[in-house]
Amino acid sequence: MTRLKMGMIGGGLGSFIGDVHRKAAGLDGMISLVCGAFSSTEEKSIASAKAIGIPKSRAYGSYQQMIKAEAKLPEDERMDFVAIVTPNHMHFPPAKMALEHGFHVICDKPLSLNMEEAIELEKIVQSTGKVFALTHNYTGYPMVKQAKAMIAKGDLGTIRKINVQYLQGWLSSAVEKTDHKQAAWRVDPKRSGIGGALGDIGTHAENLVEYISGIHINELAADLTAFGEGRTLDDDGNILLRFENGAKGTMTFSQIATGEENGLAIKIYGTKGSVDWHQENPNELVVKWLNQPKQTYTPGGNGGYPEASEYVRIPAGHPEGYLEGFATIYRSFAKELNHVKQGNSPSSLPDFPTVQDGVRGMNFIYKAVESSSNNASWVTLKS
Amino acid sequence: MTRLKMGMIGGGLGSFIGDVHRKAAGLDGMISLVCGAFSSTEEKSIASAKAIGIPKSRAYGSYQQMIKAEAKLPEDERMDFVAIVTPNHMHFPPAKMALEHGFHVICDKPLSLNMEEAIELEKIVQSTGKVFALTHNYTGYPMVKQAKAMIAKGDLGTIRKINVQYLQGWLSSAVEKTDHKQAAWRVDPKRSGIGGALGDIGTHAENLVEYISGIHINELAADLTAFGEGRTLDDDGNILLRFENGAKGTMTFSQIATGEENGLAIKIYGTKGSVDWHQENPNELVVKWLNQPKQTYTPGGNGGYPEASEYVRIPAGHPEGYLEGFATIYRSFAKELNHVKQGNSPSSLPDFPTVQDGVRGMNFIYKAVESSSNNASWVTLKS
Amino acid sequence: MTRLKMGMIGGGLGSFIGDVHRKAAGLDGMISLVCGAFSSTEEKSIASAKAIGIPKSRAYGSYQQMIKAEAKLPEDERMDFVAIVTPNHMHFPPAKMALEHGFHVICDKPLSLNMEEAIELEKIVQSTGKVFALTHNYTGYPMVKQAKAMIAKGDLGTIRKINVQYLQGWLSSAVEKTDHKQAAWRVDPKRSGIGGALGDIGTHAENLVEYISGIHINELAADLTAFGEGRTLDDDGNILLRFENGAKGTMTFSQIATGEENGLAIKIYGTKGSVDWHQENPNELVVKWLNQPKQTYTPGGNGGYPEASEYVRIPAGHPEGYLEGFATIYRSFAKELNHVKQGNSPSSLPDFPTVQDGVRGMNFIYKAVESSSNNASWVTLKS
Amino acid sequence: MTRLKMGMIGGGLGSFIGDVHRKAAGLDGMISLVCGAFSSTEEKSIASAKAIGIPKSRAYGSYQQMIKAEAKLPEDERMDFVAIVTPNHMHFPPAKMALEHGFHVICDKPLSLNMEEAIELEKIVQSTGKVFALTHNYTGYPMVKQAKAMIAKGDLGTIRKINVQYLQGWLSSAVEKTDHKQAAWRVDPKRSGIGGALGDIGTHAENLVEYISGIHINELAADLTAFGEGRTLDDDGNILLRFENGAKGTMTFSQIATGEENGLAIKIYGTKGSVDWHQENPNELVVKWLNQPKQTYTPGGNGGYPEASEYVRIPAGHPEGYLEGFATIYRSFAKELNHVKQGNSPSSLPDFPTVQDGVRGMNFIYKAVESSSNNASWVTLKS
């Protein structure tokens, strides 16, 4: 097996998400980080490279520089793909350039700064024929896969009700006014786009709902609020949902839910049964039935479907966490790349979030903001 | 101590809630059941009376008969108050008659079949000066009292977000078409009024939210659905909430949430901390803080406020349940009756849900139905 | 239905367990408290009687006085049975006298102050033919009944391993040196007997293990400790267990387990499955299987056996607690009394803990103390 | 930063623990796998090497071959240390040879096949001055570190009671008679040594108890059982513990606890508070206090000590699991290696389990077997 070669854009020293991407990419031994434009200056980029064992020669001062230089390297040396781990406003430009220079792309969410970029990016992916993955990492948990498989097989019957929450408390106080890098860009429309918590975590919730249930949101009515003094972007939102199959639901998300850490949780109710999953305790899937006692499924445990078990790395009872779920996205991305490198066409339904999912996410942001601007009136998601 | 004498309207053999009221009323040794119009015929009423040890002479064939007969008994023999445990359409008539004949009333929720009755009942309570309690029993749990006290004292700071759910699954299938007495009247507008799950459990959620938070709902946007085939009343609902102080929230309730038993749960977020309580595990109150580890409070356990501890009957670690919470409403009602019997005026803020709370609940039902009829448009609760 | 008439011995003002017994006895409407020797002086006894609505004429200054006086009353007036809720040293004398004067007895645990009394009491129960129940109340929980039924039916296969704990922390500090009535007698051998925590809670654990598993402890090796300064009775113990069928196990109990409230919990492992139950969350029984996902049973919920469901008072999801479990002992006792009052012989296997169970418990205390005195050497329980 | 170079002994295709070690070693980017004697034949070893991207030239047919060959490579090319991931009987020989050829060693637990090897290995480590780590990986969890730190600082007061369990069910049926590689060697004394479940998981429990509490076991009385038909090694055990400071406790472990996955859990009670941690939900540490509500600590969450926080890789609420905890052992080992490579002496108290801990573990196995052979009589651990 030859490892795939990854170039990283962003993720310099002190970046939370860059480190996550590196660990996730490396976990299954299918990918090696070989180069990076880690920071906005060459000096900083080299410092970051040094700290993580990348030679100075492969540390670049800008993504443009990196893409051009790497493209000129021999095929067995140059990077195979780029991982984009910058704030939202810096997703589209490097993604576009990388794709157009023949590199595959894996990119943090949301897809882009705005809708126009999202639509253009979808076109570029299609025209270049390159592989593009979006790291909606929560879809990588085995118990999320189990829930998805149970619904797809009809175990729960017809889905009628969905409640999803994504609750955090880290913006409860005005941390963006302190020296808090993460907070600073998230409350800044220039770097985040039109969604605050909506874009940062609401899109994860939207993606998870559609991924597990297999049904699309049809309409929404959103009530977004910026509670933090001086904030222009939402830090909290409550949304009514209507799904294409007639199911109804709610979404609530917040970054001012004091004391919550990373409370992404989902409940989906069908006519025969229901599933209940919480990201902070990701190795349990509670399934409640119409006529049987409720069950708890675990990764690799009794009764799990192969659709879930294949994502389990260690025996039942040995908890896997956030990094492992994230790594599953990278592993599926790597498998697809190997598939394509062997001369195959990209899969039509690859096992990771795609640029189309990213466009759906951007559309969700736009429609939620539109609804909220109109006093939470209903907005249809289909364009 | 002389026990207060209770007459019961409804609650004959096979009634779930009648038995609950009897056990709750008796638990603290302050109330004795002395008579009842348990069923719609004298024969059935006598049979019920016999089964629970009430002499035939005090078993009546109708509430009218009971109220008239009891009113003629000597004071130390006749009932002090009536407990009304019939379906919704039979709340107002006996309540009105009892009050007007000098009896205090404790009544199951919701207050009445419709808004007109509710408003009239409020007037009758005021004009007669009798004590009236509504059994929103979930306010009787010690950890609900603890949460309320913490918010009232400002421990959580300013409240900004509230999520409440009340999820049941017992109407997931068409049980009303089988011989299911409870289901039959709940899906029947003539006996339930204009709210289905909304009236049956949504009002509990509404009452609990306002009780714990101490703030009122200002506006709502409700999306109600009747999923069960042939049902005309909602069996599921999702509601956006806006509170008088600027807080936002969601309510979701359902009786088609397959596998759920009695899932009433509430999360309230303030600027300094938050509370998280679930009725199915009522002896834990989880409190999350801005800067401290989360805590779990228990009835009679360390750190509890007197406002909660006074409702605890047994030492910490000995779970109290639904009946005990329900009994607390009766105990507070009994205390108020003893207070009034000693010649005092009724308390302005008694420690149980009042007719005003009942009117608020009916208003909530009406406004939610109105909103839902208008495609979940916003409706203001204040009239 | 005529209510059975209860006389209480002990349980005056300020008694925790007296109030529990009264509430438990009254809950199901089958028993009325009619008289009591609540305290050691007539004056105090009358004060207690007054507070709970018992007429002065039926408040006695001593149990002797009560038993004699009640025996002279006409049958339809005099008490049917006595409830003994005094400290351990005052169990045997009133029990003996009551039985010998024709009264049935329900008694708090452990059975008596010492082994001699226990054996004599067993004989008196047999010779008088009266009904005797011991309030090992934890056997009254529906999920305990469910676990017992599953094992009895062979659902779990052959039992091989049992771990039981009963952990409290209320004696972590020297509360007996403050004005703490409960603590004072529990650390006093004259009132408690030779077991401290062993007798107070260890016997509950022993009873629960044998009740649920249906198998007896054969041998034990006990390491008892008095951690509290100046204490002569154990406040902590760890015991190795060997069962008659070859199963092995551990028991750990403590009243110095700081921060624990009332942590009685049991895990029983068979060849096919296992059960896991915790008293502080009594409405869940977790069942783990060899080849199926684990299940959670709830009172009145899906899949429960009739052996459990018949003890459920309210629908699934409405938690029942300690008082309800306790009340189940009283209800079963009342049923047996009604059975016997109709001229039947006492049941050979009544549905409540018997004097034989009490003798087993006393034997357990003696053998554990004997083992611990011999440096935790093995002692056989069979005499 | 230059990555340390790892050679692996064992861990070929199909090995569970080999894959765990590779992922754990690689996670933090401080270590690269460069060579391996993955299997007992060169052919199989090469196949394994190929599958994980190791060149054929560095795949060896035996550990002897590898150690000799690597020793001859230039320093900047040859491996820095070996990771030994073979069954127990193959720990000592390669460890000895590697140390004596100048390589550092990280080795799976238990330390060796028998006591003699353990003692000799301790001497070899001392005489060679090389770094030796034992992968008692559960000590790597942040909440284990938090518990240890709280006890070390005296937050819990004097420790008086410890209960530890390690419950698995995977040997409940006779899987060793099927084609189950893991089971086969674990029930075989030639490959496992004299302890079955005792050596496999009991030693983890022993190590964890001493690691968190900071106090040593002084005496034990062990009752070991082989429940599985035909098994000669224990698959279940119950042990009474006495600690050097006077604390008492119990240990129970099993591989026939049907339905349990990987249930390692520990409760430690001090005079001021207690800790409660469960490996299957490793991101919560419950701390119960004498006079305050119980708290739940989380990795990176409020109130955590730096001693725990420094082991947290991602923000609070993003669960880390088994691999991350395991990786922490590797990370600490790598730090120590870098420290030593810079010319420093090995640390006297390195932040990972040492050969001394391994000797303690072997002694624990021997003393438990001795005790059990003498009908669970007390045995002192100090030699």
Q: pLDDT band at B229, cuts 50/70/90?
A: very high
Which subunits sit against B, judged by 3+ Cβ pairs under 8 A? A, C, D
| Chain B interface, best mutation among D272, D276, D294, by max B CB count within 10 A | D294
Q: pLDDT band at D13, cuts 50/70/90?
A: confident
**pLDDT more than 70, % of chain C:** 99
pLDDT at D260: 98
Which residues of B fall within a CB distance of 8 Å from C56? none
Task: State whether residue C296 sits within 8 Å of chain D by CB.
Answer: no
Using an 8 Å Cβ cutoff, are D85 and D112 in contact? no
Question: How far is D357 from C63, CA to CA, in rounded Å?
Answer: 63
Helix, strand and coil in chain C, % to nearest 5 = 40, 20, 40
Question: How far is C62 from C35, CA to CA, in rounded Å?
Answer: 12
Residue C329 has pLDDT above 80, yes or no: yes
Q: Per residue in D271-320, pLDDT tens?
A: 999 999 999 999 999 999 999 999 999 999 999 999 999 999 999 999 99
Residue B246 has pLDDT above 80, yes or no: yes
pLDDT at B8: 98
Judged by phi (left if over 0) then psi (alpha if -120 to 50, else beta), residue B274 lies in beta
Which residues of D fall within a CB distance of 8 Å from A262? 315-318
Q: What's the whole-number average pLDDT of chain D?
A: 96
- Decide if C217 is inside a domain: yes
Mean pLDDT score, B326-330: 97
Q: Per residue in B265-294, pLDDT tens?
A: 999 999 999 999 999 999 999 999 999 999
- Decide if B319 is inside a domain: no
Q: pLDDT band at C182, cuts 50/70/90?
A: confident
- Decide if A218 is inside a domain: yes
* Parallel, antiparallel or unpaired: strands D159-167 and D263-270: antiparallel
CA separation (Å) from A145 to A277, C205, C248, D125, D363?
A: 11, 42, 39, 47, 44
Q: In the numeric block, which tokens belong to residue D234?
A: 């224990």
Task: State whether residue C19 sits within 8 Å of chain B by CB.
Answer: yes
Containing A219, the helix (H) or strand (E) segment is strand A217-225
Using an 8 Å Cβ cutoff, are D289 and B296 in contact? no
Mean pLDDT score, C263-281: 98
Q: What is the rounded (10 degree) CA torsion for A89, A92, A93, A94?
A: 110
Q: Per residue in B180-206, pLDDT tens?
A: 888 888 889 999 999 999 999 999 999
Q: Per residue in B59-73, pLDDT tens?
A: 999 999 999 999 999
Q: What's the whole-number average pLDDT of chain B?
A: 96
Triad B182, B183, B188: Cα angle to 5°: 110
Same domain? For C64 and C191 the reply is no
Same domain? For A223 and A256 the reply is yes
Triad B238, B244, B247: Cα angle to 5°: 60
pLDDT at B15: 85
Task: State whether residue C291 sits within 8 Å of chain A by CB.
Answer: yes
Neighbouring CB atoms inside 10 A of D383's CB total 9
Task: State whether residue D173 sits within 8 Å of chain C by CB.
Answer: yes
CA separation (Å) from B195 to B108, B112, B161, B199?
A: 15, 11, 26, 5
| Number of structural domains chain D divides into | 2
| Residue B126 structural domain | 4-138+327-352
Same domain? For A179 and A224 the reply is yes
Burial of D189 (0-12, 13-18, 19+ CB in 10 A): middle
Question: How far is C255 from B114, CA to CA, in rounded Å?
Answer: 55
Task: State whether residue A295 sits within 8 Å of chain D by CB.
Answer: no
Same domain? For D72 and D197 the reply is no
Q: Per residue in C215-245, pLDDT tens?
A: 999 999 999 999 999 999 999 999 999 999 9
Question: What is the side-by-side strand order in the sheet with D81-84?
Answer: D31-37, D4-9, D81-84, D104-107, D132-134
Same domain? For D124 and D175 the reply is no
Q: What is the rounded (10 degree) CA torsion for A301, A305, A310, A313?
A: -10
pLDDT at C239: 98
Mean pLDDT score, B162-178: 95
Using an 8 Å Cβ cutoff, are A287 and C302 in contact? no
pLDDT at B311: 96
Same domain? For B244 and B126 the reply is no
Burial of C335 (0-12, 13-18, 19+ CB in 10 A): middle
| Chain A interface, best mutation among B198, B258, B261, by max A CB count within 10 A | B258
Q: In the numeric block, which tokens belong to residue A145?
A: 């896969």
Residue C89 has pLDDT above 90, yes or no: yes
- Decide if B31 is inside a domain: yes
Question: Across B46-50, B156-160, C49-53, which has the greatest mean pLDDT?
Answer: B156-160
Chain-chain contact of A321 with D321 (C-beta, under 8 angstroms)? yes
Q: Is A383 helix (H, G, I), strand (E, B) or coil?
A: coil
Same domain? For B39 and B109 the reply is yes
Which residues of B fall within a CB distance of 8 Å from C298? 261
Q: pLDDT band at C294, cuts 50/70/90?
A: very high
Chain-chain contact of D313 with A53 (C-beta, under 8 angstroms)? no
Same domain? For B129 and B148 the reply is no
Task: State whether residue D97 sits within 8 Å of chain C by CB.
Answer: no
- Residue whose structure tokens are 């959103």: A222
Q: From B301, which residue of chain D is nearest by alpha-carbon distance?
A: D293
| Chain A interface, best mutation among D28, D32, D323, D338, by max A CB count within 10 A | D323
CA distance C120 to chain D (A): 35
Query: Is this complex's ipTM strictly greater than 0.85?
Result: yes
- Decide if C381 is inside a domain: no
pLDDT at C14: 81
pLDDT at C181: 81
Q: In the numeric block, which tokens belong to residue C6?
A: 């209860």
pLDDT at B16: 85
Residue B383 has pLDDT above 80, yes or no: no
Lowest mean pLDDT, pick from A200-209, B169-178, C291-300, D148-157: B169-178
Using an 8 Å Cβ cutoff, are B220 and B381 in contact? yes
Chain-chain contact of D323 with A320 (C-beta, under 8 angstroms)? yes
pLDDT at A43: 92
Task: State whether residue B317 sits within 8 Å of chain D by CB.
Answer: no
Using an 8 Å Cβ cutoff, are B347 and B332 in contact? no
Q: Peptide bond before C110: cis, by omega within 30 degrees of 0?
A: yes
pLDDT at C146: 98
Question: How far is C105 from C128, CA to CA, in rounded Å?
Answer: 11
- Decide if B190 is inside a domain: yes
Question: How far is A286 from A276, CA to CA, in rounded Å?
Answer: 5
Triad B81, B86, B89: Cα angle to 5°: 110
Same domain? For B277 and B331 the reply is no
Using an 8 Å Cβ cutoff, are B86 and B76 in contact? no
Lowest mean pLDDT, pick from A185-189, A289-293, B132-136, C77-81: A185-189
Mean pLDDT score, D20-27: 96
pLDDT at A181: 81
- Decide if B129 is inside a domain: yes
- CATH (domain of D116): 3.40.50.720
Residue D1 has pLDDT above 80, yes or no: no
Question: How far is A6 from A79, CA to CA, in rounded Å?
Answer: 5
Q: pLDDT band at C40, cuts 50/70/90?
A: confident
Of B200, B207, B239, residue with least CA distance to B222: B239
- CATH (domain of A244): 3.30.360.10
Triad C185, C189, C190: Cα angle to 5°: 80
Chain-chain contact of D281 with A19 (C-beta, under 8 angstroms)? no
CA distance D289 to chain B (A): 8
Same domain? For B178 and B286 the reply is yes
Same domain? For A91 and A202 the reply is no
Which stretches in chain A have pLDDT values below 70? 1, 383
Task: State whether residue B275 sits within 8 Å of chain A by CB.
Answer: no
Q: pLDDT band at B315, cuts 50/70/90?
A: very high
Residue B18 has pLDDT above 90, yes or no: yes
Same domain? For A119 and A183 the reply is no
- Decide if C379 is inside a domain: no
| Chain D interface, best mutation among A165, A180, A279, A314, by max D CB count within 10 A | A314
